Amino acid sequence: MIPRTLHPGGQATMRIGGTRPREWSTKKKDTAPRGLFKHAAGVWAVRYTCGLGHIHRQKVAPSKDLAVKVYHARRARALESPTWCPMKERRQARLAKAAALTVKEYGAQWLKAREHGPNAVKPRTLDGYRNILTAHLFPTLGGVLLADLSRGQLRAWLATKKSLSKATQANLVIPVRAMLNDAFDDGLIVKNPATRLLRAARGLTEKDARKVEALTREELATVLSTAAGAFPEWLDFFRVLGWTGLRLGEACGLQWGDVDSRGGFLDIRRNIAYRKRKVLEGAPKSGQARRVDVPRVLVERLQVRRGIQEAEATLNGVTGSPWIFAAPTDASKPVNPAFVRFKVWYRLIKKAGLRALRLHSLRHTYASLLLQQGESIAYVSKQMGHSTITLTVDRYGHFVAGGNRQAVDRLAEATSAPNYSKTIPTPDNSSAR
């Protein structure tokens, strides 16, 4: 009989002649099914074939024993029901749930999901969505079942909004389309009836044809000179808007750490809004920070402003404000954009004797004047923080044509009657004969 020896490590060895000992494992053999595997998320998962022949992979549980039970249960279900498919089962369950879900009910859930989490939107955007759905959509189509909502019903709903401008109608469709897109992704509807609901159409009124409004060079100079005389404490603020093209919330969110005096630029990192007297600090509209060139005279003026703020803080025995434009009543907070718009801007343009323009027109003015003086579209688009250069061309491209009026004057001069006759050769009658 060949001798065997059991080693402390749990392995049995057998020596045959002078050869190397052969080893066998005495550990318990793993009897787990082959469809069981460890998922990258750290839990056990199963892989099985349903009754329709589709291969499914599903995360189950952190316990291996429980995963084995789930695997055998899935295999038994597939053998018992040849038409069983878990994906088909879940899809039917979602459709059954949607069959009893109204537009208003799903809309309320959709708005709730937009408050927090990965799908959250800015508070101001969420307020606009909520106002549109509750004031316009729900009173008319809120009781309609979500699965039964049709394109014809949405068109009939829009037909009742004909008194509104085309831009307002487009704004009404935006949250409706987004809500139904999510309903489609959730498998609650088979298609989105709001897709391409408002197609591009030719404008029919003067208001439809109106483009962005901007100030001329002379009007911008008037605004700044009026601010210097009537609102000197706000002169730097309007210089920033007129000479950098920042959005109002971006200008309100500027901090001293965003100013690079050597490089002559501003780092735009945040947008400021107020809701119920609370400061809401978020990313810029494009979602990305950007660097904006600043005139040297404005950089010098901001340095002077910082020195004044630090001196005042030292005299008062308080810490200096991190905000370039702090709130008048609380230096620890940025100025409220609504305060600038309603308490300062409208009074300023009235005192300057200008037509009623929105404060956002200073941003349009910045882009239009740069284009009129020959700057490239790409540079203006980068300064403005637009997501694509196409947006810059569509919005401000018409300003380029007015920047070089000498070209059309030369065209008129070259084709006017006296000059045009000089360019036409006189027929030679002798050669005609």
Do 79 and 110 lie in a common domain? no
* Structural domains of the chain, count: 3
Strand partners, 283: none
Do 71 and 103 lie in a common domain? no
Edge-to-edge strand order for the sheet containing 55-61? 36-38, 44-49, 55-61
Strand partners, 23: 13
pLDDT of residue 203: 55
Q: Domain for residue 308, yes or no?
A: yes
% of the chain beyond a pLDDT of 70: 84
Looking at mean pLDDT, say which of 54-58, 72-76, 238-242 comes out highest: 238-242
Do 180 and 229 lie in a common domain? no
User: Of 178, 132, 181, which is closest to residue 158 (Cα–Cα)?
Assistant: 132
User: Of 422, 412, 430, 363, which is closest to residue 392 (Cα–Cα)?
Assistant: 363
Do 115 and 175 lie in a common domain? yes
- Please report where in the chains the tokens 């950007």 appear, as a residue: 290
The whole-model pTM stands at: 0.65
Do 110 and 156 lie in a common domain? yes
Instruction: Point out the domain boundary residue: 301, 333, 352.
Output: 352
Confidence band of 433 (pLDDT split at 50, 70, 90): very low
Instruction: Point out the domain boundary residue: 293, 324, 352.
Output: 352
pLDDT of residue 396: 84
The token pair that represents 18 in the structure block:
């002078």
Residue 19: alpha-carbon gap to chain centroid: 73
Do 226 and 348 lie in a common domain? yes
The dihedral sign for the CA sequence 207, 208, 212, 215 = negative
pLDDT of residue 52: 86
pLDDT of residue 431: 47
Q: Domain for residue 247, yes or no?
A: yes
Question: Residues 181-205: what's their mean pLDDT?
Answer: 79
Do 240 and 323 lie in a common domain? yes
Confidence band of 232 (pLDDT split at 50, 70, 90): very high
pLDDT of residue 197: 86
CA torsion, points 392, 397, 399, 403, in degrees to nearest 10? 110
Do 240 and 346 lie in a common domain? yes
Do 65 and 178 lie in a common domain? no
Q: Domain for residue 401, yes or no?
A: no
Do 159 and 276 lie in a common domain? no
Question: Residues 272-292: what's their mean pLDDT?
Answer: 89
The answer to whether residues 356 and 349 touch, using CB atoms and an 8 Å cutoff, is yes
- Structural domain including 153 reads 97-196
Q: Please give the biggest Cα pair distance in the chain.
A: 136
Q: Domain for residue 376, yes or no?
A: no
pLDDT of residue 432: 46
Do 63 and 102 lie in a common domain? no
Question: Distance (Å, rounded) from C-alpha 219 to C-alpha 221?
Answer: 5
The answer to whether residues 13 and 7 touch, using CB atoms and an 8 Å cutoff, is yes
CA torsion, points 185, 188, 190, 196, in degrees to nearest 10? -60
Do 251 and 305 lie in a common domain? yes
pLDDT of residue 27: 57
**3-state DSSP percent of the chain in helix, strand and coil, to 5:** 50, 10, 35
pLDDT at 4 over 60: no
pLDDT at 337 over 90: yes
* pLDDT, averaged across the chain: 85
Question: Distance (Å, rounded) from C-alpha 248 to C-alpha 227?
Answer: 17
Residue 136 or residue 21, greater confidence = 136
Which residue type is seen at 157? W
The token pair that represents 228 in the structure block:
């210097």
Q: Domain for residue 405, yes or no?
A: no
Q: Domain for residue 412, yes or no?
A: no
Question: Residues 300-324: what's their mean pLDDT?
Answer: 93
Q: What is the CATH number of the domain that holds 149?
A: 1.10.150.130
Q: Domain for residue 289, yes or no?
A: yes
Confidence band of 108 (pLDDT split at 50, 70, 90): very high
